[in-house]
Chain A
Amino acid sequence: MVKQAIKMKRLIKAIWVFNWFNSCGFAEVVPIAGSRWDMERFGIILTGTPRHADVLFIAGYQTFKSMKRAQRICEQMADPKAVIALGACTMSGGMYWDSYNTVKRVSDYIPVNIYVPGCPPRPEALFEACEKIFQHVRAMQ
């Protein structure tokens, strides 16, 4: 465990992120990639494949069909990994709480590590969530 912690601490310069965004989830989170919020200054980088990713962002309402794909993506990610659920719809169905085709409790389907509430969540809240991952690794024994 100690060895692993040292290795992890050496490795954690950046977290690579894979996005699984439905509907407005994409539009509301995409500004963090732009110059105003600029996620790369905090070491958050987008990657094209789940096999390279450390963190999975899930945003927007999830249908049962899309949840199956999200589960697959999550399984493909190499350990250690984290899943961050962004926004009200992802977490609880949000305003689609009475839809027959949206996921009501995301944690029933996928192991979520961090919930970021909001509709949409502020970019700052998202950065804080990612910072918690860095802190977690730095505090490892």
Chain B
Amino acid sequence: MAEIPQQRKENKLIEQISSKFEIEGTVQRDRRVWVTTSKDNLIALCRFAKRLGFHHLSAISVTDWPQEKIFELTYHLWSYSARILLTVKTKIDRADPKIDSAIPIFQENAQIHERELHELFGVQFEGNSDLTPLFLEDWDGPPPFRKDFNWRDYVRQKYYDRSNEREKPYWE
């Protein structure tokens, strides 16, 4: 019943955004819109989306692509009025992972996600004044969610003693 107007809503959203920014947009299915943009446009796009009603930043996530040498950042924005989940994607350099903070737009909504991603992936959110560790107090290893971090090896070296008879099975 509501299928056709809903489709129009999503296509209209992509049109609205692409009139202002360089994007690649697709409608994944009902109420799910994916938008890929460049790193520089990201914050301006988020601000624009917020003006369109996307007030809720439900999550920020990072995907590590070690072969391509990039981090893919995904911002999930939800609109309570249009009831559409807008997924904004961008790519940043893995060797120099810096991105502007979304705090000026989403305030506390963004804070906890940025803090966590800084801790787990080492992404620098520029403009965020409080990137203190969230779960990993006194952590001295590399950011643990990076694909090239061999956590099992790290744990063995740090916590287990090969010469201890009871801890030998952990080394096998």
Please give the residue numbers on chain A whose beta carbons come within 8 Å of chain B beta carbons, in ascending order: 63-65, 68, 97-101, 104
Contacts and interface: CB of A to CB of B under 8 A. Distances in A.
Given A68-B137, A99-B155, A104-B160, 13 more contacts: A64-B138, A65-B137, A97-B155, A97-B170, A98-B152, A98-B155, A98-B170, A99-B151, A100-B144, A100-B158, A101-B135, A101-B144, A104-B159
Contacts of A100: 141, 144, 151, 154-155, 158
Contacts of A99: 151, 155
A63, A68, A104: most-surrounded residue (chain B CB, <10 A)? A104
Nearest to A68: B137
A101 B145 CA distance: 12
Contacts of B138: 64
Q: Chain A contact residues: over half helix, strand or loop, or mixed? A: loop
Interface of B: 135-138, 141, 144, 151-152, 154-156, 158-160, 170
A10 to B, nearest CB: 42
Contacts of A65: 135-137
A64 B134 CA distance: 12
B163 to A, nearest CB: 15
A63 B137 CA distance: 10
Given A100-B141, A100-B144, A63 B155 contact: no
Nearest to A108: B159
Contacts of A104: 159-160
Nearest to B169: A97
B60 to A, nearest CB: 21
A99 B151 CA distance: 7
Contact of A63 (B135, B154, B156): B135
B159 to A, nearest CB: 5
Contacts of B141: 100
B137 to A, nearest CB: 5
A64 B151 contact: no
A98 B167 CA distance: 12
Contacts of A63: 135
Contacts of B155: 97-100
Nearest to B134: A65
B142 to A, nearest CB: 10
Contacts of A98: 151-152, 155-156, 170
A104 B155 CA distance: 10
